[in-house]
Amino acid sequence: DAKTTQPNSMESNEEEPVHLPCNHSTISGTDYIHWYRQLPSQGPEYVIHGLTSNVNNRMASLAIAEDRKSSTLILHRATLRDAAVYYCILRDPFESGSARQLTFGSGTQLTVLP
């Protein structure tokens, strides 16, 4: 499995942008980059995913480096509700069997300060 590296923890001030980094130097050409987050006492929830181009949705933006060896999840204006563990996961939908499954690392614990 292609591996991702994320900082254990990050802090942000409320109403400021947050940039959560993820390194994936062994990414393959068909690996999609997925981000999930897990709020306290909840299951993980989908945030965003992308392949090569930057992606935007109502929750966040995903900026993917040109060489695809790193990506950044951007929360444009952090709120207290965004305090969660953020997971960056690589998955290849063209792989067979268990290789398609979401495999979670330890993620980044984001703390939002009021």
Contact residues toward another protein (CB under 8 A) are 32, 34, 36, 41-46, 49, 85, 87, 91, 93, 97-98, 100-107
Supply the minimum distance, in Å, between the C-beta of residue 66 and another protein. Answer: 24
Supply the minimum distance, in Å, between the C-beta of residue 56 and another protein. Answer: 16
* Residue with Cβ nearer another protein (72 or 109): 109
Nearest CA to 20 among 67, 68, 78? 78
The identity of residue 19, as a single letter, is H
* Residue with Cβ nearer another protein (50 or 75): 50
Nearest CA to 93 among 24, 29, 21, 4? 29
